[in-house]
Amino acid sequence: MTAYLDHAATTPLLPAALAAMTQQLATVGNASSLHTAGRSARRVVEESREAIARAVGARPSEVLFTSGGTESDNLALKGTYRARVAADPARRRLLVATTEHHAVLDCVEYLVADEGAEVTWLHCDADGFVGVDTVRAAIERDPSTVCLVSVMWANNEVGTVQDVAGIAAVAHEYGVPVHTDAVQAVGHLPVDFTATGVDLMAVSAHKLGGPVGVGALVARRDARLVPLVHGGGQERQVRSGTLDTAGIVAFAAAVTESVARLEAERDRLVRLRDDLVVRAVALGGGIRPGGPWQRGDTTRRLPGNAHLIVPGCDGDSLLYLLDAAGVAVSTGSACQAGVPRPSHVLLAMGVPEGDAAGALRVTLGHTSTQADVDAFVDALPAAVQRARRAREAS
């Protein structure tokens, strides 16, 4: 049996989510219809919206359903940029962390190339942290030109957890809205949208035990957004389209359960993560953790993230060798799998290109066990040896 250690890419459905989705799939009804079946579907959607809002510290009206994290990020960035520039053409400058997911980076590159946006990159330290002072300095270069700040809550590759509350507080001093990609954070870290002060937050169901294809953009009521899709005017007239009632109810079941058991699951995953990292580093050969590392840490790094840098190897070789041994991991973002270049996240952190090429993202989740960790540690030495021989021969 495969030891599945790629939960940051997607994690298995929680039984509660599967049950809720299966039950709803057997029920007809468009949540925008006015007859009995439609009103029944609408009730399911609104009760799910309320449950998700409670779980993330938001008002129900702030939860806008989307197809997932990528759409939510695009709606936040493009929608805000277009609305703010229409109101004030000088506000074309986006402040964006260099370690963002490509759902943000590629969106920014599009806005720069096609819509006249300007970008100020927010650089990080060796652990991937973007300092509050870095954000302040970038804004103060010319506050009147800043459109939006975007810094992800928790990094999908190395697990670094940002001070999003501090960043939001600084940005708001200058009247600048803040977007955060919280896809890896919700269900794994305490997340309170209102208390943190961010304006826009992306969430995806399949990262926390829900189905693929549904997520949310949590947006403050005063957030100004130009829609990406026009049609029936659903979701505050910001995101048109027939609502996926079955996906939404499963999303609500997953986020409710994952948040309710967050503390116990966090402590369990930290123990597994620490065991995996310590044993991998003990193998020698320069293996080291990427990102912030301290045993028992639950605040600076995601509990289930055990990112490793393996010098002298190609990450893809390690991935395939481990896969052949029955262990599923990744080299970085699953959205960039198969792209033969080092992680932009590691390069932004100052990791040498040769070392960055040998990165492994090992991520644990609700189905992970000690046996999975043991399988990885047992398979790693032979995989490293063969991968290094392959690189030397190439």
The CA radius of gyration of the chain, in Å to the nearest whole number, is 21
Annotated catalytic residue 335: yes
196 CA to centre of own chain: 17
Over the stretch 68-77, which tens digit does the pLDDT of each residue have?
999 999 999 9
pLDDT on residue 223: 97
Over the stretch 159-213, which tens digit does the pLDDT of each residue have?
999 999 999 999 999 999 999 999 999 999 999 999 999 999 999 999 999 999 9
Nearest to 300 by CA among 204, 196, 161: 161
Backbone angles phi, psi at 112, to 5 degrees: -65, -45
Domains of the chain, with CATH numbers? 3-11+262-393 (3.90.1150.10), 15-259 (3.40.640.10)
Side chain identity, residue 259: V
Cross-strand partners of 42 = none
Over the stretch 312-331, which tens digit does the pLDDT of each residue have?
999 999 999 999 999 999 99
Q: Is the pLDDT score of 393 beyond 90?
A: no
Q: Per DSSP, which regions of the chain are E strands? A: 3-4, 63-66, 93-97, 118-122, 146-150, 178-181, 200-204, 215-219, 288-289, 308-309, 327-328, 359-360
Catalytic residue among 124, 147, 313, 335, which? 335
Over the stretch 4-29, which tens digit does the pLDDT of each residue have?
999 999 999 999 999 999 999 999 99
Confidence of residue 394 (pLDDT cuts 50, 70, 90): confident
